[in-house]
Amino acid sequence: MKFRAKKDELFLFLTDRQLFVLEFRECFKIKKAFNIDELVSHPESFQKEFLSKEIRLLIIPDYWITIRFYPVATKKASVIESFLKRKLPMDFPDASDCKEFFEYSFYKQAEQQGVQVYVIQEELFYILYRNLFSSLSIEKITTPAFLWKAKLSKKIKDINKGLKIFIHIYQNSAYLCFFLESYFLFSRLISTEQDYIGQISYELMQSFRLVSQKTKKEVEKIYLISRQDLDAEGLSERLEIEIVDVSDQVALSSPSLDVVEGIGSFAFLNRSDLLDSAKFFYLAYRPLKEIKEWAFFQNVGIGVGIFVFVFLLIEAIYLNSFIPRLHKNTPDINIPTIQEQISAIDDVLHYKERADLSLIIMKILNCTSNEIYLQHIGISSGPPYSIELVGNVSALSVKDFQKIFSLFLSNIKQSFKHSQIPSLADIDIKRAGEQGFKFRFGFEGNEGQI
């Protein structure tokens, strides 16, 4: 079965040097590529072209994610997450924002119960997220290894048992992934231009020692995918480990050479491997994730409320129509008129169609930097909807303040394009101590466009 990409559905693939904007048409194609250094200095070119597009998935390098075990005695999510939000910035001081980008799963290590924590520790990611990705509301952040793991799990049931290795050989390269039970450990990318059997064997032998020391386990099996002629038996004899060729079991796409050179092994995946149904492991910006989860329960509550109201309305109509006929001598029942009931339904539907306040707050928070502290966010019920912001800017000089606050205003204008944002000269600004400035301003937005 072939999957057609939705209109303007794009994927971001990030490396140390480039950001690739990808689309899927039978296979992945590079829509545009950006140099990282230029992107950090001048993000406007990316934002102007792709800010309004649907980008739900960001793929980052495997090694940008660090895996760490923490012993905990509870399984209560609120306690664990509170602990990790305090602990992670101390363990990763160069990536203080990591408390907002982590995921965990329960794990038992050496008879000790705890959590396996996946955290983004690459500083470049946080620079790009603050300056570029925060306005995109990206729902999922993952890596090629997590996507391959989910794809292989559909066809290879025992890959989640013991210590296994996956090797994908393609165009003079070999992508090696190490999995322990259902957990990803690490990956390697090696060149196989000459004597690829010898190069793969050497890399695997070096990795075997590292894995054995770390996990106290031995590699049980290697799964191989290759479209090239490969002496799997010779490699198996040299390593003294069983190698299973699963090339015929796993469906791959057929990307062009330039795409493979840009994004590597990921290029051979299909769009179906990136759908929610693929159930791959991912991280998310935790405040956005929490808002999405709360929005789901809020919508369920509104739906239940509408259902109950309609049920009561039908009951009221029944009582209003039939009961007086049966009890002509009884006093009139005080039941709302049909017009009043329709008006009440309109009120409920109007409430449901109101702008998503949680999304507005999320947009505002994504516009701030570490130097800006919001004390008050006021949002009227509208329409039109009005927003008032009060806060402090930590800055030593007026020049520093203007630089920080101008960037904040620019982000606000990008996120609320249909609103009239005041200029810096029109905003109420006061000095707040020797190292800060206090600000207050507001703006309005049209219904459904805020």
Number of residues in the chain: 450
Q: What single letter denotes the amino acid at residue 245?
A: D
What percent of the chain lies above the pLDDT cut of 70? 84
In a domain, 162, yes or no: yes
Same domain, 224 and 348: no
Does 274 share its domain with 372? Answer: no
- Between 129 and 352, whose confidence is greater? 129
Instruction: Please indicate, yes or no, whether residues 426 and 366 belong to a single structural domain of this protein.
Output: yes
Which H or E element spans position 381?
Answer: none
Give me the amino acid identity at 123: E
Cα(310)–Cα(132) distance, rounded to whole angstroms? Answer: 45
Distances (CA, A) of 220 to 179, 243, 328: 11, 9, 85
Burial class (CB within 10 angstroms; exposed 0-12, middle 13-18, buried 19+) of 156: middle
Query: Do 152 and 279 share a domain, yes or no?
Result: yes
Per-residue pLDDT band for 1 (boundaries 50, 70, 90) equals very low
- Total domain count, the chain: 4
Maximum mean pLDDT: which of 78-92, 181-195, 219-233, 416-430 = 78-92
Q: Which of 333-342, 400-409, 440-449 has the lowest mean pLDDT?
A: 333-342
| 81 in the same domain as 103 | yes
Q: Would you say residue 326 has pLDDT above 60?
A: no
Residues of the domain holding 397? 357-445
- What is the pLDDT averaged over residues 314-331? 61
Q: Is the pLDDT of residue 216 over 50?
A: yes
- Residue 4 covered by a domain: no
In a shared domain, residues 269 and 312:
no
Please state the separation of Cα 346 from the chain's center in Å: 36
Residue 132 lies in a domain: no
d(CA 73, CA 449): 47
Q: Which residue is it, tokens 């520790």?
A: 121
**pTM value > 0.85:** no
Q: What is the mean pLDDT of the chain?
A: 82
Shared-domain flag, residues 250 and 321: no
- Calculate the alpha carbon distances from 67 to 26, 86, 100, 128, 341 in Å: 34, 17, 16, 21, 57
Band of residue 14 on the pLDDT scale cut at 50, 70, 90: very high
- Which of 167, 180, 174 has its CA nearest to residue 211? 180
Question: Could you tell me the CATH number of the domain that includes residue 250?
Answer: 3.30.420.40
**Same domain as 166, residue 277:** yes
Classify residue 17: in a domain, yes or no: no
Quick one: 245 and 187 in the same domain? yes
Same domain, yes or no: 377 and 417: yes
Whether residues 319 and 342 share a domain: the answer is yes
Say if 76 falls within a structural domain. yes
Reported as a single tens digit per residue, the pLDDT across 62-112 is 999 999 989 888 888 889 988 998 999 999 988 878 888 889 988 776 677
- CA-based Rg of the chain, rounded to a whole angstrom? 28
